[in-house]
Structure 1
């Protein structure tokens, strides 16, 4: 009788990558919520990515990492980084700083698989079936219910929620751009290039629109350390590895799992709650995700 071979650590890690990514990514909204009372959003991100650059430089130099061979590759990698970090993170942090609950910002930006799956068929030649379109529409309906449930929270928060939608468009564009133009970039040197581009961008935004004042606290130091090491270095590396291994629409479907994870953590840390209508909306969105992912599994694309 032949025994099943024990999976290697590499195989186990590959299988665990989506779960680890979802958990890491969902905590990003919590880190922003924790740190922003002590620092302005653009200054926060300028410090964060400045630290990322300082941490990555010795890693790239000591490991003799290969750099992009063509000048255009530097441009593509930088644009991908500005869309992912500058656009997505910048508007998420602005949104939360204006009072948008972390769970709501996570839910709004978490519907980016709808946009990616729709555009992937046109831009990346990925198959978009009728079943998938039904799932996309259900997801949109679910998010509308969640947002509608919060329409009475006030003008400032509504504007903040609008910024979360801008962040949604940015991360969708970043995912498609990264898959099309940066899928083969070296993870270490590519990350360093993108971190440097983001650090310069946020530094300029901070100098132009903010005071640069920082109130140092244990919460801010923890948030900076967590977002720098776990999110920027850990989650972003996992995202690029996942994009390299799978279709953009497939990988993007993981983002549907981050709002529930964020909502659970935000409930315990910040006492954030969702109303009945919002919970129904989340359930409808999850149903849409199930329809989208069922087709993926059935055709063997995952």
Structure 2
């Protein structure tokens, strides 16, 4: 990995340096994809099919690359837990919240609180996010950066709140997504040993499918939901599997494996502003001066967090 301040000398180093920016862009499209796909299929039915197709793709990729699968039952168990939290819990909460009427920008704001929750947990329980030095300790600059990012998020999507968009049901579902992605990130950092990202993703997809498939069946039978085979649905599914899962989830796994938990999750502060820009470009949603100011503030806060040196233990 390239040392901070140095110029990457190889294509591999350049790719590693670009991973955070690529991750933010990919992850931001997840909220846009929900807007395309959600009108045509119930949330857990869509996700169950997504997890199944993702599992097949990752398994084929691992087979072609002759990638090693985890060798211990404990590692399989830890990966399964991260799959339940970071795939089924997080995505299930987001997609169900959108289905129940919450806007993409609003749910992005709520899930964007993840870095603050992660920081609070790491501060209260230093051993919860184990790094190379044993734990992470946060300085004043780190806290200032996190608060700047939070204020930036409020400026970006705050105007969308308070207009009947948020209900107890969709707010609860969004909070489930927030807690799931936060817990999953910390759990992976603490328990999951380094392993091949393709086989790790395959195990996570298996676990997520095991949870969402019965819920999807209930949606279609007990709930009477239907699937509309619309071109937007196929496009959303293809993007979700090939770009969001194989690209975004794999990048998130690698970023957590390589970096401190709070620094990695601070990247999530950039997702709602990026989502707002994408929505403006694709759907002509409002992007005024206060939202632009929020984007600048959020980016500045994340840079402060990422560049703040952790105290040595």
Same fold (TM over 0.5): yes
Structure 1 residues 147 and 265: alpha-carbon distance in aligned structure 2, compared to 1, 3 A threshold: closer
1:70 Cα deviation after fit: 1.5
Aligned residues: 296
Distance 2:11 2:230 in 1: 39
Distance 1:282 1:162 in 2: 26
Q: Aligned residue for 1:71?
A: 73
Structure 1 residues 169 and 277: alpha-carbon distance in aligned structure 2, compared to 1, 3 A threshold: farther
Q: 1:264 aligns with which of 256, 273, 277?
A: 277
- For structure 1, which runs of at least 5 residues remain unmatched after alignment? none
2:228 aligned with 1:215: yes
- For structure 2, which runs of at least 5 residues remain unmatched after alignment? 1-5, 130-134
Paired residue secondary structure (1:104): helix
Q: Aligned residue for 1:292?
A: 305
Q: 1:154 aligns with which of 143, 161, 164?
A: 164
Q: Aligned residue for 1:100?
A: 102
1:245 Cα deviation after fit: 1.5
- TM norm structure 1: 0.87
Q: Aligned residue for 2:117?
A: 115
Q: 2:12 aligns with which of 5, 10, 13?
A: 10
1:117-136: CA deviations, max 9, x gaps?
23234212201113323333
Alignment of 1:124-139 (within 5 A): 124=129, 125-139=135-149
Alignment of 1:13-24 (within 5 A): 13-24=15-26
User: Which sits farther off after the overlay, 274-283 or 53-62?
Assistant: 274-283
User: Which sits farther off after the overlay, 158-167 or 194-203?
Assistant: 158-167
Q: 2:263 aligns with which of 250, 255, 278?
A: 250
1:193-226: CA deviations, max 9, x gaps?
1111111211111123444521011111111000
- TM norm structure 2: 0.84
Distance 1:5 1:139 in 2: 27
Paired residue secondary structure (1:59): helix
Asked if the contact 2:280/2:286 (under 8 Å) is kept, the reply is yes
Q: Aligned residue for 1:191?
A: 201
CA RMSD of aligned residues (A): 2.7
Structure 1 residues 290 and 52: alpha-carbon distance in aligned structure 2, compared to 1, 3 A threshold: closer
Structure 1 residues 12 and 279: alpha-carbon distance in aligned structure 2, compared to 1, 3 A threshold: closer
